[in-house]
Structure 1
Amino acid sequence: MAGNAEQETERQGYSAAQVSNFNEQLRKMRNDGARLKFDLGHLAEQLTATRAKTFAQQGLGRRFHLIERCVLNIFEIYPVGRQKFLSIDECTDIAIQFHAFAMNVNALFDNVAWVCLLESGHVLPPKKIGLLKAACQPFIPTNLATFLAEPDITRWFHDYGTLYRDSTAHRIAPYLPSRAYTPEEGERLRQLHAKSMQEWIEPAHDQLRAGSSERLERLDRLEREKEELGRNSLLMCLSLTGEDASPPVYLHPQLLCDWGLAQEIIRHFLVGMRESRGWLALDIPPLEVGD
């Protein structure tokens, strides 16, 4: 019985343990994010270059809050424990938030590089400015550069972050399918669709003479059965077919992972800038964000 219950939970979505873990991570990251916002504001005042201050306040500051709002908006529309089917419009709203999220996470990393460069007083062509761009490396704090050189981080940038940013901006935007099906459910869906099309296209002559009410009732039953199939998709994807196919990603854990990476890069940036210039850190107590 326990095994069957576990399989059913998995079929319907995340396990109870995963739901609890994701919600705990969300709470912790909101609290950490609030603290980092204060710290970032303090560093912006310590910067000596006017344009570096502008990028820290109006670039990093805006994007950091926007990233958080995208995550929270998606979790509000689609809580990790949700069982009720998502509507097409809700899936579209989630995709809109995810597009903004993907673009701004990557842009935040570029903003960090701009602040580092501008504060150094040096100038580079815009296309050579970036946290992983070779020309920009002399201006990145040592601790941040070391963190960025870790294999998991470089893999994230090259295999996922850049792919989703570029695809969102220029090629195929990520989307959340409105439903996910098992192979058996997918076969049943095809059968129901075929029956539905047959009812619409090839009504029998006696049915036409008798009127359309019975045919409409049959169509309604077919559509109701189709609507009961499947479950909410846990996966976001770009395209699953042809030469543009790429692996899908789990929506909720990917959001938490990317948001966490953004926080970690900001954290290394703040420490590195102060250490390299002898600036004092702000003593910020732990913060608890309310619902």
Structure 2
Amino acid sequence: MSYSPANIEKMHVSLRAVLQDLQTLILNTVIEGKALEPASPVREHLLHGAARRLQTVKRALERVFELFPLDSALPLANDALSDVQTNLHAFVMNLYGLYDNWAWAFVLRHDLLSRLGDRRRVGLFLQSTQKFLPAELREHLTSEAMTRWHGEYAKSFRDALAHRIPPYVPPSEFTEQESHRFQELEHEKLQCIRQMRWDRMQEISEEQAALGRPCFGFMHSFQEDEAPRPILLHPQLLTDSITAVECAKLFFAHWHRTA
């Protein structure tokens, strides 16, 4: 699993564009929030909710591309891989939370909480909230593409991160022969620990690090699905960011009114 030179160039172009779009969205969110009364809970959800999350999403996206270059030929070192996964977790959680901040901002702006009857009924992807949304925004959120993105991907990975198996990037991809050799070395490593042969331990670690190729995918559980498969990391984060920007544009264009 690797990216072609043409796809690498396309992703670099897309990255530059979406980072600029995210920065513009951050500024627009701050402007919308600052226009409200200081004590307004709507202001809080925009300035201290959505704007902060957008900053985190933007920075996490940047760091994943910096830490895990698209043209990587060797598996990442352990610390770099850990940093990629830390930023992936920050991205997934805050991206998902953005939609909740927008939902709360809308509900509070229009004093809808009493009509909803329960805080758990607040959410852009919940019918209880969607029925109050202006048609343009509701149609976008209930489209087949958005429903599938939220139900099959965004919610699945957010829930796994919060409650079950956190998303992770496998350290390497192996051929069958490489996998067999890696397991042999793992067995020898255990013996070295018992015998306190630390010099040999270092040699084993170096040989293991040289095996295989980087895995450009991420996933969360081998057990929850019948046939789990990694999702390509860089394209998915770009798609998620573009999706958020598109939704935000519609939200701020129409959030001043209800259905």
TM range (shorter): 0.7 to 0.9
Q: Post-superposition shift, 1:199?
A: 7.7
Q: Post-superposition shift, 1:119?
A: 1.0
User: Which residue in the other structure is 2:241 paired with?
Assistant: 259
User: Which residue in the other structure is 2:33 paired with?
Assistant: 44
Q: Does 1:118 align with 2:108?
A: yes
Extract unaligned runs of 5+ from structure 2. none
User: Which residue in the other structure is 2:75 paired with?
Assistant: 85
In 2, distance between residues paired with 1:163 and 1:109? 15
* Cα root mean square deviation, aligned: 3.0
CA contact (8 A) 2:46 2:101 kept: yes
- Structure-2 change in CA distance of 1:17 and 1:200 (3 Å): same
Aligned residue pairs total 254
SS in 1 for 2:100: helix
CA contact (8 A) 1:99 1:168 kept: yes
Q: Does 1:134 align with 2:116?
A: no
Q: Does 1:146 align with 2:139?
A: yes
Which residue of the other structure, out of 13, 16, 21, is the alignment partner of 1:32? 21
TM-score (norm 1): 0.77
Extract unaligned runs of 5+ from structure 1. 1-10, 204-212, 278-291
User: Which residue in the other structure is 1:210 paired with?
Assistant: none
Larger Rg: 1
In 2, distance between residues paired with 1:65 and 1:198? 43
Q: Does 1:97 align with 2:51?
A: no
SS in 2 for 1:139: coil
SS in 2 for 1:85: coil
In 2, distance between residues paired with 1:228 and 1:270? 50
Q: Post-superposition shift, 1:18?
A: 1.4
- Structure-2 change in CA distance of 1:73 and 1:220 (3 Å): closer
Point out the more displaced range, 130-139 or 182-191.
Answer: 182-191
- Structure-2 change in CA distance of 1:193 and 1:66 (3 Å): closer
SS in 2 for 1:37: helix
Q: Does 1:189 align with 2:194?
A: no
Q: Post-superposition shift, 1:56?
A: 1.4
SS in 2 for 1:114: helix
Q: Does 1:14 align with 2:7?
A: no
In 1, distance between residues paired with 2:47 and 2:53? 9
Q: Post-superposition shift, 1:97?
A: 1.1
Q: Post-superposition shift, 1:164?
A: 0.7
CA contact (8 A) 1:47 1:119 kept: no
In 1, distance between residues paired with 2:248 and 2:56? 14
In 1, distance between residues paired with 2:224 and 2:112? 45
Q: Post-superposition shift, 1:115?
A: 0.9
In 1, distance between residues paired with 2:119 and 2:46? 17
User: Which residue in the other structure is 1:269 paired with?
Assistant: 251
CA contact (8 A) 2:75 2:215 kept: no
In 2, distance between residues paired with 1:91 and 1:72? 15
CA contact (8 A) 2:74 2:212 kept: no
1:121 alignment partner AA: D
- Structure-2 change in CA distance of 1:61 and 1:225 (3 Å): closer
Which residue of the other structure, out of 53, 64, 73, is the alignment partner of 2:54? 64
- Structure-2 change in CA distance of 1:150 and 1:242 (3 Å): closer
Written as runs of structure 1 = structure 2, the 5 A alignment for 1:231-250 is: 231-241=213-223, 246-250=228-232
CA contact (8 A) 1:116 1:139 kept: no
TM-score (norm 2): 0.86
User: Which residue in the other structure is 2:164 paired with?
Assistant: 171
